[in-house]
Structure 1
Amino acid sequence: MFSPIRILQFSALLNRHRRKLLQTALTTTLVSMTAGISSPAFAAYPDRPIVIVVPFSAGGSTDVLARLLARPMQEMLKRPVVVENRVGAAGAIGAAFVAKSNPDGYTVLFGGVGTNILNSLTIPETPYHPQRDFAAVGEVCTVDYVLVVKADSPFKSLSDVIAKAKAEKDSVSYMSTGNKGPLHLGMAYLSKMAGVSLVHAPYKGESAALPDVLAGRVDIGIMTVPFTTPLIREGKLRAIASVGNKRSALLPQVPTVAESGFPTYALPIWIGLSVPAATAKERIDLLNRALHHALSDSDVKSRMSALGVSPVGSSPSEFSAFQDRERERWLLMIKESGTALDK
């Protein structure tokens, strides 16, 4: 039998051992928590440059707009905001790059109708699915587009184009910025409504198509108002119709397609910011606040107005719901275009 003294000594030793185990456990927990706080997952965002991916060529209107917004966004976020062009496949190359990027808020898509809606509806091999792979940040703006011809073209109105196309099948050509992109679909839809056949010539961007439009090798360009207005004023191009819901503020004398005999026609082109789908809501909200900060900048507003661009600004949920509605509208246009979209 153990004596009472031995029992007390053993109990004291056991208590000291228990205290050591508890201290070790607490120390391990605190170290683990500290390590977690200092890890990249918990680092302050942003702590490095943010890249805005423009899926079209440098110098085009989309690129110009992205660079215009980057400066005030950078001021608010306190980190560099860099614009990077990744061109090709009607915007699919740049969009796919963003879709497959880390969902950490550092890679942002400056995309629109083509990248966010049409590619997945018209190109089966598109390497991403916008509804699954993107999270909405916010709508940026709408951009006015016009149909233009070279200054000495015989086409002085959309009616002239339709008349020529009806008289001679496949006698009128037009350019777009990508096969089965929004401009291709818009013109295919218009040709279906008019009952004519137009020849499609896809280009990588409006800058690439301009020489052929100016030379008349392509009859019609469907291009942005900011890109074409200087050339119209210089007498090098003539605008024959605006494709949006209303006339452009920069070209108020140019009628819409709706006013030119197709009252239900409208081709609003919009641009927004998106990030990979699993991006944290807190980071999306911060990017949205940076977007609104940029759109409220007086210099940005005046320059966008001068470019014929209408700022929008919306919440992530509003932009997401808007894209759902747009997807249904464009899907209907695709179905009604039928074989015209194969040209």
Structure 2
Amino acid sequence: MWSQLPARLRSVAIGLALLAGVGSALAEYPERPVTIVVPYAAGGATDASARLMAQALQKQTGGSFVVENVPGAGTTIGAARVARATPDGYTLLWGGLSSNAMAPNLYTKLTFDGLDSFAPVSLVASQPYVLFVSASSPIKTVADLLAKAKAQPDTFNFGSPGQGSSPHLMTEMFLDAAGIKAQHVPYKGAAPAMTGLLGGEVQMMFDTPTAPLPMFKAGRLRPLAVTSARRLAELPDVPTLQESGLSGLEASTWFALFAPRGTPAAVVTRLNEMTRKALSDTAVLEQFGKAQFTPEASTPQALAQRVSAESSKWRRIIKDKSISLD
């Protein structure tokens, strides 16, 4: 009987059967644990934000969302693993600025592309950078910092978690905009870099606010400016860089969910809907707020545009400064 049907009707029947199968699978998704690969070590702010989202998705679906930390090589080991994974919605990347926009411009031999190797799902959260000096420093404002750097260009230093890290690139962009020079002192991680700042080895440092805020409240750090368009609620007396006389320097680090390229559109749509729903939960919003993250859901298309724009933005500074991690 099947063979007697016209070819066009057989094609329609097959298509309907496939759609029914996809619909059934989505109705049960996730049927098994979903792994969210975080390309950073456990314990930091990035890891914490990923675990907040995993818990929210687990609560929403009743399924299992497991965070797996795969650090190394400037986020590229974890990102490459997801790019190679089966595109079925069960392996996701907790990607973002470093892994999808900066790393592809810092390494020339990557096995993945920051956009084309992935199916964007949704933005999740963002954080601005904060310009810090030690509380014992005589520098009180951005104007003070610029004056000191211009007066001592050969001895004025800045710290970062490492060559090519997002705080390093943020500082390079700041130096260019301000028309000053400073010597880069790369450390092996954010904690050693902060120790160097507190100990006077370096005079300034950009960092996201989560980890440094307790040191600020303890009177050990002095924030001079934030890179967001508006002041932070946690730092209401700290001006933006624009308020400090430096326009065009708005920047933030951000995190998002990506699936491997080729993941069915229906699965990506389902994941996007789940992410949006999670970020509308008051309890989830409060948790992100306590960690100094701004929840920021998006469509997959908007995330793709964000990756493209950020990649172009940071490519310029990386090329201008001849920064490479190969």
Q: TM-score range by the shorter chain?
A: 0.7 to 0.9
Report the alpha carbon displacement of residue 216 of structure 1 after superposing the two structures with TM.
Answer: 2.5
Q: State yes or no: 1:155 paired with 2:155.
A: no
Would the alpha carbon gap of residues 165 and 112 (structure 1) be closer, same or farther in structure 2, given more than 3 Å must change? same
Q: State yes or no: 1:196 paired with 2:180.
A: yes
Within 5 Å, which residues of 2 pair with 1:1-343? Answer: 44-334=28-318, 338-339=320-321, 341=323
State the distance in 1 between where 2:25 and 2:288 align.
37
State the distance in 2 between where 1:157 and 1:341 align.
29
Would the alpha carbon gap of residues 85 and 210 (structure 1) be closer, same or farther in structure 2, given more than 3 Å must change? farther
Report the alpha carbon displacement of residue 146 of structure 1 after superposing the two structures with TM.
Answer: 0.5
Question: 2:41 aligns to what SS in structure 1?
Answer: coil
Would the alpha carbon gap of residues 231 and 66 (structure 1) be closer, same or farther in structure 2, given more than 3 Å must change? same
Code of the residue aligned with 1:186 in structure 2: it is: M
* CA offsets 1:41-73 (integer angstroms, 9 cap, x no match): 969532221111222232221111111111110
* CA offsets 1:289-334 (integer angstroms, 9 cap, x no match): 2211221121111122233321111121221123223333333444
Would the alpha carbon gap of residues 49 and 201 (structure 1) be closer, same or farther in structure 2, given more than 3 Å must change? farther
Query: In 2, are the aligned partners of 1:52 and 1:107 still within 8 Å (CA)?
Result: yes
Report the alpha carbon displacement of residue 140 of structure 1 after superposing the two structures with TM.
Answer: 0.6
Specify every segment of 5 or more residues in structure 1 that has no aligned partner in the other structure, as ranges: 1-33
Code of the residue aligned with 2:163 in structure 1: it is: N
What is the root-mean-square deviation in Å for CA atoms of aligned residues? 2.8
Report the alpha carbon displacement of residue 175 of structure 1 after superposing the two structures with TM.
Answer: 2.7
State the distance in 1 between where 2:107 and 2:135 align.
35
Query: In 2, are the aligned partners of 1:144 and 1:308 still within 8 Å (CA)?
Result: no
Query: In 2, are the aligned partners of 1:149 and 1:238 still within 8 Å (CA)?
Result: yes
Structure with larger Rg: 1
- Bigger shift: residues 172-181 or 232-241: 172-181
Code of the residue aligned with 1:317 in structure 2: it is: Q
State the distance in 1 between where 2:291 and 2:139 align.
25
Report the alpha carbon displacement of residue 204 of structure 1 after superposing the two structures with TM.
Answer: 5.0
Question: 1:64 aligns to what SS in structure 2?
Answer: helix
State the distance in 1 between where 2:33 and 2:53 align.
15
**Map of 1:20 onto structure 2:** none
State the distance in 2 between where 1:213 and 1:147 align.
12
Would the alpha carbon gap of residues 283 and 205 (structure 1) be closer, same or farther in structure 2, given more than 3 Å must change? farther
Would the alpha carbon gap of residues 197 and 341 (structure 1) be closer, same or farther in structure 2, given more than 3 Å must change? farther
State the distance in 2 between where 1:165 and 1:88 align.
33
State the distance in 2 between where 1:254 and 1:304 align.
21
Q: Which has the higher helix share?
A: 1
**Map of 1:22 onto structure 2:** none
State the distance in 1 between where 2:88 and 2:268 align.
10
Would the alpha carbon gap of residues 81 and 205 (structure 1) be closer, same or farther in structure 2, given more than 3 Å must change? farther
- Bigger shift: residues 76-85 or 325-334: 325-334
Code of the residue aligned with 1:61 in structure 2: it is: A
State the distance in 2 between where 1:247 and 1:121 align.
30
State the distance in 2 between where 1:262 and 1:59 align.
34
Specify every segment of 5 or more residues in structure 2 that has no aligned partner in the other structure, as ranges: 1-16
* CA offsets 1:82-119 (integer angstroms, 9 cap, x no match): 11222222222221221122222122111211111111
Query: In 2, are the aligned partners of 1:192 and 1:340 still within 8 Å (CA)?
Result: no
State the distance in 2 between where 1:97 and 1:263 align.
38
Question: 2:104 aligns to what SS in structure 1?
Answer: helix
Would the alpha carbon gap of residues 340 and 120 (structure 1) be closer, same or farther in structure 2, given more than 3 Å must change? closer
Aligned residues: 307
TM-score when normalising by structure 2: 0.85
